[in-house]
Structure formats: structure tokens, C-alpha cells
Amino acid sequence: MRWLALAALLVSLEAYALGSKWLLVSADGKAEAGQRFELVLVTPGEPFPDEIEVRVTAGATEVQVSMKGEGSTDGPRRIYSGIMPPGATGVVSVHLWGAESNTVMLQVPRRDEMQRLTGRPSPAEEAPLSAEDPVYFVLGYREGWNARFQLSFKYRLFDAGSGYGAEQPWLSGFHFGYTQSSLWDLSAQSKPFKDTSYRPAFFWRWRSRDDRAWLDATRLGFEHESNGQAGVDSRSINTLFVRPEWRWKRDDGRELEFTPKIYSYLDKSENPDISAYRGYVDWRIRYDSGGQWITTAVARVGTAGYGSVLVDLSRRTRDMRIGALSGYLHIQYFNGYGETIVDYNVRSKAQLRVGLAIVP
């Protein structure tokens, strides 16, 4: 433990240099799901609490964990212990809840085959089944009550660790993605769904293994979008797209993403002027404040000057301490043309909706 004491002393000095910021240290960078794990907390000069709350993030899942202090509170460091969430796997991040601190990365090994499906084995190997766009249900009022909800996921077709994926690693970049968005008219007599957009996609994703690379990742693929209707109500488009991805992360957990989606229309016979309202780029930016709010904005500008903006704002309900309710408080704002594909050339009045999200 001598090296740990030395490390604690060094990071303690760093804490004082940085100002009022707690620092977390792990002895070996490892933990096991459902088992006890320890972290060393280094004080910036403040008294140690008997118990701390940390946020454990594994992929798209975030869990609040209580850790109890052990041993003496004298000196610049104190050991805290807690239970790693049973569903955690792969590389997880841990940082203090409600106080400024650094983020500790821990390796949690996979324990069974089910976790191989939903877990995150390592930074270089993405989970086979993972979130894509936000998943939410929101409610609003505009000339009557209405709701909007969305489901979205992506699935990696080849496992990089076995079979064809192991023999040809480039195959592990192939994914199937699916997103479904629906508008629900709650004021009409029969409560009909106004429109639903179905967006299956097939794409190949490349990710950089070098932190110094100018591009973090990019996607190349094909997407079909339609409302599933026939006759005069039918709307559909087929596109080829490329989506470069840039991400900037800070030690305190804050993260900024810029992922514009650039596409070309292969078939738009049912809506030949859609580019005038939608354009050729979905300008997408996402900001995670590292413990409070997550904001995602998507803007479109058509070739005729028409356009739209969609803003999703989420806050973790556990941060708000309103009880055992999991997920996120979700606020959504839309303004412009094409809230659904059937109304691609119809301007909607500004709409604010509030609800819950599973994936922000």
C-alpha cells in the first residue's frame, strides 16, 4: 500500500493546486459486478463525510451508489467501499455525486453470456446491442393534447472477438439500426396516431483507436424512411449517408459531441421537393454536463430556406431525489417544417412537450 499512499499524496497536492476539487483513486483499476469495491478519496482540505454518493456509468446506464468511509479521517485521504451494480460490465466510469471531482475508470469483466449482449466489454469493442437516438415519451398541448414517443437502437452484426468478426475485424463495423417516431393525437375522439416514421438503416462504422486523431469515428450507410401508409398518404425516401463524429471529453465527466449526418437522396418520388424543406444535412450536437443536464439539438436547413429545429433536454431523475423513479425528466422543443415525414412541407407551430426518457 506504500505506492497508494504516495499516489494519494501526489494527487492531494494536485487537488490543492486545482482548488476545491475532490479526487478519487483506485488501487488497481478493477472491480466485479455485484461485489464490494474500494476507492480512495483525497480531500482538497475539507472534512471527510462518513458516506459519499458516486455515479457509476456503464454504457447508457447510470446508477447511484452509496459508499461508506472506513478507517481514520486523519490525513489527506480516506478509503470508501461500496457495491458495484450487478449489471455493470466493461469499462465503467465513477465520479462523485453532488461535488466536483475527477472521473475514475474501472474495468469490470463480463460474467455471463447475457451481459455479452447488453454489456460494454472494452473501449475498443462496442456493445452488440446499444442505444442509438433518444428513447422517450413526451406530452404537450397545441390545439389539443398530443404526445410524441420514440424508440431507437442499433445492433452490431459481427462480434469482434469470435467467428468472422475475429477473422476479419473490419466486419465488426457493420450495424443494423432502427428508429421509430410517432405522433399521437390525444384530443381526437378515437385517440388516433397522426403519423409514424419508420427508419431502418444498415451502416458500417469506423472508430479511431488513437486519441490524437482528428476524427473520432464515422459512419457510411443506407437508410429507408417511410410512414408505412399506402396510396396518397404514403411517404418514403431512401438515402445514402455519411456521419463523421467528433467528441471532446473532460475529466469532470462533461462531454461535447458533434455528429452531422450528410445524405444524398436515392428515391424521393413520393415527395420530390423534400430537399427544399429538409436539405442534405442533419446538424446534430449533444452536450452532457457530467451529472446534471444532457442536451441534444438537431437542425435542418432546406435548399429553399425552410427548415426545422428539434431540441431534447434531459435531467436524471435520481439527481433530483424524487424517489426510486429511474430514467430522465425529458423536455422537448420543436419548431419548423416536417415534424413527421407526411408533413415534410407543412410548418408546425412551436411545440413544447414534457415527459420521461430512458435514453437521453
* Number of structural domains found in the chain: 2
Q: What is the mean pLDDT of residues 144-154?
A: 93
Q: What is the mean pLDDT of residues 88-96?
A: 86
Look at the block and give the residue holding cell 439527481.
Answer: 319
pTM of the model: 0.65
pLDDT in tens, 14-59: 444 445 578 898 888 889 888 899 999 988 878 888 899 998 987 6
Cβ atoms of 354 and 139 within 8 Å: the answer is yes
How would you list the strands of the sheet with 61-70, edge to edge?
Answer: 23-25, 36-42, 77-83, 61-70, 51-58, 90-96, 104-108
What lies within 8 Å, CB to CB, of 28 at 6+ separation is none
The closest alpha carbon to 135, from 312, 297, 281, belongs to: 312
From 112, 136, 159, the end of a domain falls on 112
Please check whether residues 206 and 253 belong to one and the same domain.
yes
pLDDT in tens, 274-319: 999 999 999 999 999 876 789 999 999 999 999 999 999 998 776 6
Percent of the chain with pLDDT over 70: 86
Cβ atoms of 271 and 237 within 8 Å: the answer is yes
Q: Where are the alpha helices (DSSP H) in the chain?
A: 2-18, 113-118, 163-167, 275-278
Please check whether residues 56 and 185 belong to one and the same domain.
no
DSSP 68-132: EEES---SSEEEEEEE--TT--EEEEEEESSS-B--EEEEE---SHHHHHHS--BTTB--SEE--
Please give the pLDDT value at position 94.
92
Look at the block and give the residue holding cell 476545491.
Answer: 20
Please check whether residues 235 and 340 belong to one and the same domain.
yes
Q: What mean pLDDT, rounded, does the chain reach?
A: 84
Cβ atoms of 182 and 152 within 8 Å: the answer is no
Please give the pLDDT value at position 274.
93
Please check whether residues 164 and 93 belong to one and the same domain.
no
Q: What is the mean pLDDT of residues 106-126?
A: 55
Could you give the CA distance from residue 249 to residue 103 in angstroms, rounded to a whole number?
11
What lies within 8 Å, CB to CB, of 246 at 6+ separation is 215, 216, 257, 258, 259
pLDDT in tens, 233-276: 789 999 999 999 999 988 777 899 999 999 999 988 888 999 99
Radius of gyration of the chain, Cα coordinates, nearest whole angstrom? 23
- Give a yes or no: residue 119 inside a domain: no
CATH code, 324: 2.40.230.10
Please check whether residues 83 and 132 belong to one and the same domain.
no
Domain containing residue 60: 2-112
pLDDT in tens, 184-232: 988 887 778 888 999 999 999 998 877 677 898 999 999 999 988 877 7
- Give a yes or no: residue 160 inside a domain: yes
